[in-house]
Amino acid sequence: VQVDPRVEALAARAHPATAIATGITIRRALNFTCPARCGIIYGFRRPPRVSDISDGRLKDLAAAAAPTICELGPLSGDSPNALKDCFEDTEPVRLSLRGVFCACACYQIVGGDQDAEVFPLAVFSFPIRSQVQEIPDMRATLAVPVAIQGMVVAVVEVDNHGDELWNEGEANVDLEYVGIEGYAYVP
């Protein structure tokens, strides 16, 4: 993983603002060979660092939770036990999606270590592209507002990758947009 040092310097200011996240928006890119289908949004209680990604801890957690996240859908229930087992001492809370009528699923991961600098904020799952005509943006209000200074998204499954492109290294894995709604708090 390589990061432009200028970008990292901007992200590590002396007193970064804290965002109070009250909602999330996920826009799936459909004009790519491999749009992301499922993933985890990690929240940070400090500015993210390159080492957060390069040391592999988030990758290991994402890999362990991936099979469960990929099975999420409209019939998964309000707090599936399999998802509870993925994230220690947490309670997954199904989020109501605003204006979306599809087989999408989004859960906020509530609880866990309240002092952890990095934590799983939410998981999401879109339906398989071949099963639906159009997949709208996934917008949800969080069950519990969360204070964060950054976030990282781990894509755990892509859709319709086409083996010929994947094997040639030309696949384009993408999410168009992942963001939070809320307000900023500057100390």
Q: Could you read off the pLDDT of 48-71 as tens digits, one per residue?
A: 888 888 888 888 888 889 888 888
**Which structure tokens are listed for 35?**
């749009």
Q: Please name the residue that has the structure tokens 């879109």.
A: 126
pTM of the model: 0.82
Q: Would you state the pLDDT for residue 32?
A: 66
Q: Is it the case that residue 155 has pLDDT exceeding 60?
A: yes
Terminal-residue alpha carbon distance, the chain: 32
Burial of 53 by CB count in 10 Å (0-12 exposed, 13-18 middle, 19+ buried)? middle
The candidate with the shortest Cα–Cα distance to 152, out of 65, 48, 59, 68, is 48
Indicate if the alpha-carbon torsion angle 92, 111, 153, 138 is positive or negative.
Answer: positive
Q: Would you state the pLDDT for residue 108?
A: 94
Q: Could you read off the pLDDT of 19-36 as tens digits, one per residue?
A: 999 999 998 876 666 778
